[in-house]
Amino acid sequence: MIGLISATAAGTAARDRLAAAWPDRTRVYGGPVADAVRAAFAECDRLVCFLATGAVVRLVAPLLHGKTDDPGVVCVDEAGRYAVSLLGGHGGGANELAREVGEVLGAEPVVTTATDAVGLPGLDTLGLPVEGDVAAVSRALLDGEAVALRAEVTWPLPPLPVAAEGAYTVRVTDRSAEPADGEAVLRPPTLVVGVGASKGAPVEEVLALVESALREAGLSAASMAELATVDAKAGEPGLVEAARRLGVPLVTHPAEALARVAVPNPSDAPLAAVGTPSVAEAAALVGGGELLVPKRKSAGSPAMATCAVVRRPGRGRLAVVGLGPGARDLLTPRARDELRRASVLVGLDQYVDQIRDLLRPGTRVLESGLGAEEERARTAVEEARRGQAVALIGSGDAGVYAMASPALAEASDDIDVIGVPGVTAALAAGALLGAPLGHDHVSISLSDLHTPWEVIERRVRAAAEADLVVTFYNPRSRGRDWQLPKALAVLAGHRAPATPVGIVRNASRADESVRLTTLAALDPATVDMMTVVTVGNTATRQIAGRMVTPRGYRWQEETR
């Protein structure tokens, strides 16, 4: 919960805007300011104070406990110009909160955390437990000193400017070894603990079994991803409470799924009880991985629980990111986040140039020229299969005549794939023209490089007969100069010569141009590959110099 505190009329107005935008995330604290801050500090995980920073410093100073315990605090000034991350930038989430507050209120986020200021990911912001000499290693990264990365297990990390050797180390491991001097240890959630339990198994017996299994195998409980068991034990109190105390989910699987898993130690007892010859080993292995601790029994007499431990490999992450039509302000916040999260960027060289300045230091860039779409898709998938966090970029929306299709055709279920939508060329052009896409519409590429012209022409004819607004992508190039005239002739067989046509070149870019003409007057020679051509339907009109397609034919008839 985010506590909101204000003292003045202007602060209260801004506070209420934020409360209205986030009704389920915020709680307003009224009354004397000191009392409000004290109550919010105790009850909320983050605070937004519409007060001067000096006042907030004095109010929260007596309340501070420690970096890992205190809530994040953001201050917004009286004029609403700045959202200042004051306390708990990383651990308390104040840095991200300042950015979110800024988006809602139109304020400039002010973040002074050193790693954020220079574009480095903080080791305590990666979503993984971290321990050891975190401050010294972070300082070494900031100072450009050699920091080595020792990845004992694979995990998709954001870019870190690391070297092969160095006086400082970032170690990625699920082992329980103590960090050395000058070493920060990241513990990814690679361990799955399968558990079986008799009815009424005490939580203390389950916990003792799990903890001893990890300890004797030299594994860290901080790397536990889940407790796994059979569906029949989903409500077993000892397992439910053990998962709660360990801070991991209790994941259950159908008995028939576990029965199909090959295990080294099957047994007749669970087969008779729940329908599978193995619970602990099978539940741990059902998602694949390496069996580190075979089935073992608890110390009770009789033993009431069994467990097994499996290390699952870190899954690579492929984000397919749409960059929009070119303007920086049409790049979505989600796309920005994915670009900064990726340790490997794959893309067309001219698109890489558009966003190179947004990449974090240490990002590996794999760029290539026109005509290498399949190669880029394969490269991105291969890098993800190596356990990397990869961003594959395309213009507009990556799923529209761009990189999502070849990438997903190449990818299998051994990696995680995230689609990040972008503003398409058709939408960017439509906004510049007016409202040409106000009713049903279709996009058709006139490039016959991958699609036979007979198929393209059949689709154009179908759109013409259906009276759909048509946006043509890839309308004309030096080597393809006859397809656009042919497509326009098909449309002319079903639409009047005065049908509005919008011609937008380089939508949202510096040399953008917008023209409105008609189906009869359009000169195809004025169109190239950087152009989007939008042809209206029979209801589309020019109104005040804009191209407008009514939302419905009935509405059009009623307003005549």
Three-state SS string over 366-407 comes to EEECCCCHHHHHHHHHHHHHCCCEEEEEECECCCCCCCHHHH
Q: Residue 552 pairs with which residues in a beta bridge?
A: none
Residue 12 backbone phi and psi in degrees, to 5? -65, -40
For 277-332, the pLDDT digits (tens) are 999 999 999 989 999 999 999 988 899 999 999 999 888 999 999 999 999 999 99
Radius of gyration of the chain (CA): 30
- Give the pLDDT confidence score for residue 163 in this predicted structure: 81
- Give the pLDDT confidence score for residue 376 in this predicted structure: 94
Cα atoms found within 13 Å of the Cα of residue 511, Cβ hemisphere only: 3
- Give the pLDDT confidence score for residue 556 in this predicted structure: 53
List of E strands, 190-271: 191-197, 224-230, 250-253
Please check whether residue 460 is in contact with residue 535, taking contact to mean a CB–CB distance below 8 angstroms: no
- Give the pLDDT confidence score for residue 124 in this predicted structure: 75
Ranges of the chain with pLDDT below 50: 560
Q: Reduce the DSSP state of residue 262 to 3 states and report it.
A: coil
- Residue 124 has what DSSP assignment? G
Please check whether residue 171 is in contact with residue 186, taking contact to mean a CB–CB distance below 8 angstroms: yes
Residue position matching structure tokens 């990040």: 420
Q: Reduce the DSSP state of residue 328 to 3 states and report it.
A: helix
- The alpha carbon of 280 is separated from its chain's Cα centroid by a whole number of angstroms, namely 33
Residue position matching structure tokens 């690579």: 316
For 42-56, the pLDDT digits (tens) are 999 999 999 999 999
Q: Name the residue among 42, 33, 109 with its Cα closest to residue 71.
A: 42
Q: Reduce the DSSP state of residue 87 to 3 states and report it.
A: strand
